[in-house]
Structure 1
Amino acid sequence: LNSINIEILAHTVEIGGLRAEPKGIDKIRENVDKNPLRCADLIAAEMMTGAIEQAKEEGDSVGGIIEGIALNVPVGLGEPVFDTLEGDLAKALLAIPAVKGVEFGSGFSAAGKRGSENNDTFIIRDNQIVTTTNNAGGILGGISNGMPIIVRVVVKPTSSIAKSQETVDIKKMEGAGLAVKGRHDVCIVPRAVAVVESMMAVTLCDFAMRAGIIPRVLK
């Protein structure tokens, strides 16, 4: 992907219901490695850390949201019906353990908007056709439109927790309590950030190869 100037980065935008303030690309690049949570909002990262520590004390866990961004994606990657770019990206991202939801661009918030609010209008800037907004998340009709691809994935709270929960003893066929022993991560969101980047990279590389932009055999 470096050979065709595609850059992929991901960062934590929410943990335990605490949302990070939106940051520009430069700030994301600058801050994402400054804390173990991979959050570009350093103030929010401190509060998220507190939420994780509190959940640990209570024998519980927390989930969150990761945003993935792909820059300089060529126009025209993908197909309109089968093998849509967003469909294959979603498939790859949903294959990550604990990921329970995926949205592109304005995502689920588009349900409360009108078409005039959610449509991305086209303009010419520096002799290039671009959109004034990016509610589509860089993909229209299953095909990349040249704008940054923006995708967010929901990571569920870790299921293995120390707090006792109701379950069933299948040998006795009766109710029982379960408290998981051993070491388990209270929050797996930070670990999944690099995985989101990797899954996006693999998928985009595959589409670029199909389009002949990246050769199938590198010499």
Structure 2
Amino acid sequence: MSNTFGEKIKVTIYGESHGKSIGCIIEGLPAGISLDFDFIKKEMDRRAPGKNQFSTQRKEKDSFIIESGYFNHRTTGTPLCVRIENNDTKSKDYEILKNLMRPSHGDYPGNIKYRGFNDYRGGGSFSGRITAPLVFVGAVSKLILKNYGIYIGAHILSIKDIEDKKFNPLGESEVFLENLLKKDFPVIDDSKISSMQDEILKAREEKNSVGGVVECIVNNLPVGLGLPFFDSVESRISHGIFSIPSIKAIEFGEGFNISKLYGNCANDEFYYDENKKVKTKTNNNGGILGGLTNGMPIIFRVAVKPTPSISLPQNTIDILTKENEVLEIHGRHDPCIVPRVLPVIEGVTAWIILDMILSN
């Protein structure tokens, strides 16, 4: 099934942007786990729309209802079903999109694949709205990963061509990542906030949009997690990350830049630290060798494209009349989805890592 992924922690997502609700079913959670709902709510709030002028003005609380799999404050071990209601929908804004295909959206291939029966309102099943359940899954996964001492963080590395500092490739402290988590606009160098936000507001004023890059780090992983080739750590993480709408590229460690180095500069040399723990002097491979974790932090960067729904006139087609047309999109859209996609990237990463640990 296209909407189901995972080996031990198998997740099925459902819903449409303007349907009655969205949600997920999580199979494989161990029984007896107490969930911190305050933490989960904070994670959901990080992604929720309508909070500020940098996101869509659609206001959804993203309050979640657990339908099954949780009893007497503990997971039962049976499938955990979570529902999130849609409340602030304005479907009339999308009537024009029944026949006019939005450039760079899933409208046209979706219309062909589903023979015209797809829900086009707000993007339907292709909408970023469906990432809300993934944040719930990620929040639960983060809570479980704490028992293994594993923690995950991310920051906005760039908005358009304005760049933040990169993570220390050898790792960041848990306190450092916790402080990053508390920021409304999570960057390492706070002096970059105003220029990044100005770029987003400029795009909004010009009825346009901008993209950016998110950098993610996973600390304290055991050695040997993953499998060679088809189920390598890169393969599994990439599969999950590319399931998030608007993601166009991913690179681990030095990524594309490693192709510019000589072997003696690209190789990560091993050494024993003062506690006789194996480490590497550099982390150009992003914590992964032969498809397996090597004990160093996993570091990767993700490219997020500009929001395709913009209000500027764009050339497109009318699939009913078979004519070329000009489209001006109205409605409520993010001028930049990078800040809101960041907790989704963290959440999906946490889920994939937990799934690999329990499958190892």
Corresponding letter in the other structure for 1:197: E
Q: In the alignment, which residue of structure 2 is the partner of 1:108?
A: 256
Mapping of 1:45-64 within 5 angstroms? 45-64=193-212
Q: Which blocks of at least 5 consecutive residues in structure 2 are unaligned? A: 1-144
The correspondence for 1:2, drawn from 137, 146, 170, is: 146
User: In the aligned structure 2, how far is the partner of 1:82 from the partner of 1:100?
Assistant: 20
Structure 1 length as normaliser, TM-score? Answer: 0.91
Deviation at 1:18, TM superposition (A): 0.8
> Are 2:235 and 1:91 aligned?
no
CA contact (8 A) 1:102 1:153 kept: yes
- How many residues are paired up? 210
1:145 lines up with 2:294 in the alignment: yes
What SS does the aligned partner of 2:237 have? helix
| Number of the residue aligned with 1:194 | 343
Misfit runs of 4+, over 6 Å: none
8 Å Cα contact 1:100/1:155 also seen in 2:
yes
* Corresponding residue of 1:136: 285
Equivalent pairs: percent with the same residue? 40
Distance 1:54 1:70 in 2: 33
2:320 counterpart of 1:171: yes
Q: Secondary structure at the match of 1:82?
A: helix
Deviation at 1:29, TM superposition (A): 3.7
Q: Is the 8 A contact 1:21 1:44 kept in 2?
A: no
Q: TM-score, normalised by structure 2?
A: 0.56
Number of the residue aligned with 2:89:
none
The structure 1 residue matched to 2:166, chosen from 2, 9, 22, is 22
Question: Aligned partner of 1:8: which letter?
Answer: I
Give 1:110 deviation, angstroms: 1.1
1:2-50 superposed Cα distances (whole Å, 9 cap, x missing partner):
111001111111111111123553545424533x332222111211001
Give the whole-Å Cα distance in 2 for the aligned partners of 1:146 and 1:31: 23
- 2:240/2:348 contact within 8 Å kept: yes
Q: Is the 8 A contact 2:203 2:210 kept in 1?
A: yes
**Unpaired stretches in structure 1, ≥5 consecutive residues:** 212-219
1 or 2 for the larger relative contact order (CA 8 Å, sep ≥6)?
1
- Native 8 Å contact 1:130 1:146 kept in 2: yes
Distance 1:145 1:5 in 2: 16
Q: CA deviation at 1:53?
A: 0.6
The alignment yields a C-alpha RMSD, in angstroms, of 1.4
Give the greater-gyration-radius structure (CA). 2
